[in-house]
Amino acid sequence: MIRPGNNPVAGAAYLLKGARLVLLPGLRRYVVVPVLINVVLFAAVLYFAADWIHGFASELLPAWLDWLAVVLVPVFLVLSAIVVFFTFTMVANLIASPFNGMLAEAVESRLTGRPPAPASVGRIMQDVGIAIASELRKLGYILLRLIPLLLLFLVPLVGPVLWAIFGAWMLAIAFIDYPMGNHGLGFAEQRRILAGRRWLGLGFGVAVMTAMAVPVVNFFVMPCAVAGATALWVDAFAPPPQASADVRLCDPRA
């Protein structure tokens, strides 16, 4: 198998590959729950955020400073949109993480021809615990960097560029976690492996971030990104079959 090159275009193409994969027979059933979670959460976030922003903006300035709203309100709305975007993404991934883990396993089985591990109640409960713990670690990693990046956003040019890079990187980490986590790789090890092909991961993250900004399309991005990240894992990061005897990934569910 030829490994993909370490370039952002190759990484971005994996989101499209994921979109094709989730339409295959046997994989479509894993898409229903994540899409429903996205629709419900997005509708709730949009409703409450719009109500809060409207109320806050009306009280932001005294009457004699209404002219400043032309400058301050748009900045406030942009910052609010960024916070809502990251919050929505993190919460949706947290709730859907057990289903995304199963989708990643099914996609990898389809791509490699190796059957998934047999399902059992004990294994499903263990999967749920591992998936939620992994999402909470990612959440902590993001929150530690969120406040300084929010302040940097106010710096012309530098702030928005850093935000775009950070957002793309976090989305790449968030979705590559599902196939890597299925093989027992911890969050620190996932970041180290992905950093070995940083441009490939960033290209994938940029594609996911762009698709999430498109209305309606954003409802379907999550399962496509999980499938695309799994294909990226199989093609670029997983040890080849002949190396399985020498390079062993500890699967806690084995």
Question: Is 2 within the bounds of a domain?
Answer: no
CA pair distance 37, 45, nearest whole angstrom = 12
- Taken as a whole, the chain contains a residue count of 254
> What is the structure's pLDDT at 1?
57
> What is the structure's pLDDT at 227?
95
Question: Is 1 within the bounds of a domain?
Answer: no
What SS3 state is found at 25?
coil
Tens-digit pLDDT profile for residues 12-24: 999 999 999 999 9
Would the pLDDT of 64 be above 60? no
Average pLDDT over residues 77-83: 58
Would the pLDDT of 99 be above 60? yes
Question: Is 20 within the bounds of a domain?
Answer: yes
pLDDT, averaged across the chain: 75
**Which residues, in sequence order, are CB contacts of 212 under 8 Å at separation 6+?**
85, 89, 171, 218, 221
Would the pLDDT of 250 be above 50? no
Q: How many domains does the chain have?
A: 1
Question: Is 45 within the bounds of a domain?
Answer: yes
User: Which position has the higher pLDDT, 245 or 182?
Assistant: 182
Tens-digit pLDDT profile for residues 216-236: 787 788 899 999 999 999 999
Question: Is 253 within the bounds of a domain?
Answer: no
Would the pLDDT of 249 be above 60? no
- Predicted TM-score (pTM) of the model is 0.71
**Which residues, in sequence order, are CB contacts of 207 under 8 Å at separation 6+?**
11, 12, 13, 14, 15, 16
Q: Name the pLDDT band for 127 (thresholds 50, 70, 90).
A: low
> What is the structure's pLDDT at 129?
65
> What is the structure's pLDDT at 26?
84
CA pair distance 126, 70, nearest whole angstrom = 52
> What is the structure's pLDDT at 224?
93
Would the pLDDT of 58 be above 80? no
Q: Which residue segment(s) compose the domain that 184 sits in?
A: 8-238
Question: Is 246 within the bounds of a domain?
Answer: no
> What is the structure's pLDDT at 217?
82
Question: Is 49 within the bounds of a domain?
Answer: yes
Question: Is 19 within the bounds of a domain?
Answer: yes
* Integer CA distances (angstroms), 221 to 93, 185, 194, 244, in order: 11, 24, 21, 32
Would the pLDDT of 3 be above 60? yes
DSSP string covering 214-244, please?
A: STTHHHHHHHHHHHHHHHHIIIIISPPGGGT
Identify the CA nearest to 89 among candidates 179, 212, 190, 178. 212
CA-based end-to-end distance of the chain: 26
Would the pLDDT of 148 be above 80? no
What SS3 state is found at 19?
helix
Q: Where are the alpha helices (DSSP H) in the chain?
A: 8-21, 32-60, 69-112, 121-152, 158-182, 187-195, 198-212, 217-232
Q: Name the pLDDT band for 247 (thresholds 50, 70, 90).
A: very low
> What is the structure's pLDDT at 91?
65
